[in-house]
A and B are shown apart, each in its own frame.
Chain A
Amino acid sequence: MIDSALIGWSRAQFALTAAYHWIFVPLTLGLAVIMAVMETIYFVRKDEFWKKTAQFWMKLFGINFAVGIATGLILEFEFGTNWSNYSWFVGDIFGAPLAIEGILAFFMEATFVAVMFFGWNKVSRGFHLASTWLTGIGAAISAFWILVANGWMQHPVGMEFNPDTVRNEMVDFWAVALNPVAIVKFFHSVLSGWMTGAIFTIGVACWYLLRGRETKFALASIKVASIVGIVGTLAVMFTGDKSGVHIAEYQPMKLAAAEGLEDGGERAPFSIVPGIEVPGMLSILATHDIDGYVPGINDILDGYTDSEGVRHLSAEEKIYKGKTALKAFRVYRKIKDSAPNAAAEVKKVFDENKEYFGYGYIQDREDLVPPVPLIYWSFRVMVGLGSFLLLLMCVVLFFSWKGRVKDMKWLQWVALLSIPLVYLAGQAGWIVAEVGRQPWAIQDLLPVSAAISNLSVGAVKTTFFIFVAVFTAFLAIELSIMFKAIKKGPEVEENR
């Protein structure tokens, strides 16, 4: 019997690791673009000021990169130890993207990061610039393969489950690599990194303005970061819209939970906060049609017919089919060698019901509903903060062009205090994505209760608290080195 405490602690441990990992990743992705744009300006104008400006942000990029390095590896340790059933079940679907990511990350980053940091006086300006861009592109490519793996968990495609090996075997690499959920998730996540890098840069630059130092450097940095951030945020909004349509189609329970929508229908309203709704807006966001049908939590549990006339099974029907698939799986594994003909018949039953495999582990229909308040509010935190930060960057850019930012203390304070908010928005987004798909480790195929390894709760608890201590220590080290570097400031000549 799997202890529910074991599931809770294993999930908490994985969530903790992923959340810490996502502190470092978005800043790497965002600063990479900002410093590359700055170096490009240096390349075009041959102005040493821009070289020194780029070098300062590169230094902060280096600190974040170094402290964040290999945090993601811990997730892979956890797959093998805490999620061994899952790791085997996903088969080469996970192995291929993660292997490509590992090789690419190692070679691109080891090569181009080194040229970027060590090569200023050793390689040509053009080669150095290319290395800086390739460092950022390498980080984005790494993120792509990770998100291909994550996208597959949200919307499994391109595979065939083999009951003999108990693995999902890849039958179409391109279906996995170009999974629309993964593509949208890639752009949404990477561009949110641009937003993080931009808010971080603007906030740090505003700190210099508040201290009355490095004014020229700060104003130049604000302009570049605001433009990168606004472009990134607008693209995040566009991909967020696409993501909403995908969630409505592939994970309707996640959407219903994010909206706290008990009973759906056509012209479904969008909840701004409890009690304030925009009529028809959810239908527009989810289906791009004001008359589009959006199922609520009860509709999904009871079964419903969508706008296309497609009937979606109730929870009980899915659980029944899931249990049928699991029973067939059990019998097939028992008789496949001793009675191959009978096994072939059983396999037919399995194949007819395997789409609902994971539902066989669901004991109660309510287990199919993720924690609604957490997802509902996380979604609002993500969207609310994202909108506020977009407005902030537009205001900062506007007054920057007007030449007034350096005198606007209140705006400088708001920008500085907004640095934690961009991280909060990113974490909230991942809570919506990952908690929103509970109870599934792999959507519809494997719930967390079946994906987990049968370890002792004490062991998982111990590693959880070790991680809290280790990660917090490394975060404190990063912040300490980062603050020292910021305090020291760039080596630009302000009066040029």
Chain B
Amino acid sequence: MNRIRTIFNFYIEGFRNMTWGRPLWIVIFLKLFILFFVLRLFFFKPVLSGKTESEKSDFVGGSLVERIDE
């Protein structure tokens, strides 16, 4: 437990004492926000998500077969 607290404090103090690194953290959080809450949520919907393994096989198998004569 003490070790976990020491590690936790190490990170907290590190962040607290940052000077030039603060704008970088803002950039990182902004980037992660854009990635996960904008792009991932509104623009990138995995085509196979929500399907079972067997449905995924059927979907891709069907898609590969459909394109044979294209």
A positions within 8 Å CB-CB of B: 1-2, 59, 62-63, 66-67, 69-70, 73-74, 77-78, 80-81, 84-85, 87-89, 114, 117-119, 122, 163-167, 323, 326-327, 329-330, 333, 360-361, 363, 449-450, 453-455, 459, 462-463, 466, 470, 474, 477, 481, 485
Contact = CB atoms under 8 A, between A and B. Distances in A.
A84 B68 contact: no
B70 A2 contact: yes
Given A1-B70, A333-B65, A481-B24, A81 B32 contact: no
Which among B14, B25, B34, B63 has the greatest number of chain A C-beta atoms within 10 A?
Answer: B63
Interface residues of B, number: 38
Nearest to A123: B10
Contacts of A361: 67-68, 70
Contact of A85 (B15, B31, B35, B64): B64
Given A62-B24, A73-B35, A166-B57, A81 B11 contact: no
Contacts of B49: 80
Contact of B47 (A63, A81, A165, A477): A81
Contacts, number: 116
B31 A453 contact: no
B43 A67 contact: no
> Main SS of the interface on chain B?
helix
A66 B46 contact: no
B25 A77 contact: no
A69 B31 contact: yes
Nearest to B53: A165
Contact of A84 (B27, B46, B53): B46
A88 B10 contact: no
A348 B23 CA distance: 61
Given A66-B28, A81-B45, A166-B61, 18 more contacts: A62-B21, A62-B24, A69-B31, A70-B31, A78-B44, A80-B46, A80-B48, A81-B44, A84-B48, A89-B64, A118-B15, A119-B10, A167-B57, A326-B68, A333-B61, A360-B68, A462-B43, A463-B39
Interface in B6-26: 10-11, 13-15, 17, 20-21, 23-25
A474 B14 contact: no
Contact of B27 (A67, A363, A453): A67
Contacts of B14: 114, 117-119
